[in-house]
Amino acid sequence: MEMTRREQKAVEFFTSGDNCAQAVFKAYADVAGLTEDQAAMVAVGFGGGIGRMRQNCGAFSAAVMLCGALEGPQGADADVRTDVYRRVQLTHARFLEKTGSISCAELLNRKAGTEGVAPDERTAEYYAKRPCVGIVRAACQVIDEQLAEKDGQR
């Protein structure tokens, strides 16, 4: 499958050193009404399965953060939360279809919470042994599907 422009951008961000959450969120910064730098600051703590604890996948977390943005600035209003929560549940289901899990530890076949705080050095070997590029792509595909559906509703 050919990569979309945003998917390609997210992969470039990831392979240039951003964590998975930053890479995905930065690729859609305009959707959230942010600059890429602002998106990187918001998303940084979600990398490595939330602070390298290997819990929820950072790429999935970025997709969830974008669910509110997809509903617009009123997404924080109590009466709009139902739509946001519906979108989050759809994001969850579609991400699971593509990856099999939202757990960073499961996706990397590692044990949760055991790796400390320092990020691994980004080398060719790092990228070769991890499925993260594919996972970043999957998160982008889920977001792109929702953007296309939203555009179709207009």
In terms of phi and psi (left: phi > 0; alpha: psi -120 to 50; beta: otherwise), the region of 52 is: left
What's the rounded Cα separation, in Å, for the pair 10 and 18? 9
138 φψ region: left (φ > 0), alpha (ψ -120 to 50), beta (else): alpha
Q: Per residue in 94-118, pLDDT tens?
A: 999 999 999 999 999 988 887 788 8
- 119 has pLDDT over 90: no
**Among 95, 116, 117, which residue's Cα sits nearest to residue 106?**
95
User: What's the mean per-residue pLDDT of the chain?
Assistant: 92
Decide if pLDDT at 73 tops 80: no
Position 75 pLDDT exceeds 70: no
As a residue count, the chain comes to: 154
pLDDT at 1 over 90: no
Under a CB-based contact definition with an 8 Å cutoff, are residues 83 and 71 in contact? yes
Cα-flanking dihedrals φ and ψ of residue 73, to 5°? -60, -20
The residues near 33 (Cβ < 8 Å, ≥ 6 apart) are: 69, 73
pLDDT score of 74 more than 80: no
Query: What pLDDT score does 153 carry?
Result: 65
Model confidence at 152, pLDDT cuts 50, 70, 90, reads confident
Q: CA 105 to CA 89: how far, in whole Å?
A: 21
Please tell me the pTM assigned to this model: 0.93
